[in-house]
Amino acid sequence: MKKEFYLLFIIATAFTACNNKAPNGMYVGFEEMSSVTPHDSLNKWYHKNNLSIEGDSVFLYQSPVAINKSDTSYSVSDGGFYYFSGLIELKGNSVSIDLLQTGCDYCGEPVKINKDGSLTKLKVTKKLSGTFDKTGLKLNGLAYKKVEINKENYVPHHPPGY
């Protein structure tokens, strides 16, 4: 009986290891954005993308940063702070992520002007696709490095005041 139990345990463990598991954890990538200060040619502007994956759930927090050589400046408002949440789907080492914007600080909201003059807020979505390995993700051509979660890269699951 013990031998059958151990054999069953080994088969179950091997099956679980072969199943696609979400690459749980925190990932950081830098997405280039247009300069928010065109007269400042020294700084290159990026959205620092903090991406948190927990099972099939994904949370993305984007904050603007300016990089000049090895000096990084964190903005208090330039470029907006975007919050997204969504789902991840895996096939082998391929990743597909569908996100919905859940909030944004210091940015405009897209709206549709209706025939009667009223406004309808439009939903903002993002689709990310690529691959993953033990070191990180490559999504839409951007590299995301797996990092330890700390207070600097923590991804809030909801925007403030949600």
pLDDT single digits (tens) 126-158: 999 999 988 899 999 999 999 987 766 666 555
User: Which pLDDT does position 106 carry in this prediction?
Assistant: 82
Residue 162 tokens read as 């949600």
Find out whether 114 and 86 touch, Cβ atoms under 8 Å.
Answer: no
User: Which pLDDT does position 51 carry in this prediction?
Assistant: 95
How far is residue 130's CA from residue 145's CA, in Å, rounded to a whole number?
A: 14
What pTM value is reported for the model? 0.75
Helix (H), strand (E) at residue 13: helix 2-18
Tens-digit pLDDT profile for residues 74-111: 766 666 889 999 999 999 999 999 999 998 888 888 99
Tens-digit pLDDT profile for residues 105-132: 888 889 999 999 999 999 999 999 999 9
4 or 98: whose pLDDT is higher?
98
